[in-house]
Amino acid sequence: DAGVIQSPRHEVTEMGQEVTLRCKPISGHNSLFWYRQTMMRGLELLIYFNNNVPIDDSGMPEDRFSAKMPNASFSTLKIQPSEPRDSAVYFCASSSGLAGLIQYFGAGTRLSVL
């Protein structure tokens, strides 16, 4: 069974450009989470969805960040405009209500904003 799939694995962009990160959760999972990981702040939850509905977006740093989940098998995290301080590794994770709280992570997208 395929795990959580994220694309791209690496993204290098210039300040001011729009960046879109993509995630395909594990089939059958009904919760999806977006995290940001940096050396300084560790793993931070940005937003999570349950049954495609955003439940908690209090971790989204500012209006430049937006996330969508148009269906159960796809989610995007968009940064517009991007800034150098957005450079980080962004992870998507999914979980199934039936399996409790165990979240399965994708391999991440390493974003560098120059």
Partner 1 sequence: GQQLNQSPQSMFIQEGEDVSMNCTSSSIFNTWLWYKQDPGEGPVLLIALYKAGELTSNGRLTAQFGITRKDSFLNISASIPSDVGIYFCAGQKGGSQGNLIFGKGTKLSVKP
Residues that bind partner 1 (CB under 8 A): 4, 31, 33, 42-43, 45, 48, 50, 55-56, 91, 93, 95, 100-108
Nearest to 92, CA basis, from 112, 79, 106:
106
Q: How far is the CB of 94 from partner 1 (least distance, A)?
A: 10
Partners of 42 in beta bridges = 38
Q: How far is the CB of 102 from partner 1 (least distance, A)?
A: 6
Q: How far is the CB of 105 from partner 1 (least distance, A)?
A: 3
Q: How far is the CB of 107 from partner 1 (least distance, A)?
A: 5
Nearest to 23, CA basis, from 85, 79, 74:
74
Beta carbon nearer to partner 1, 81 or 112: 112
Beta carbon nearer to partner 1, 31 or 75: 31
Beta carbon nearer to partner 1, 52 or 81: 52
Write the DSSP assignment of 47-98 as a string of letters.
EEEETTEEEE-TT--STTEEEEEEETTEEEEEESS--GGG-EEEEEEEE-GG
Beta carbon nearer to partner 1, 74 or 105: 105
Distance CA 42, CA 26 (A): 24
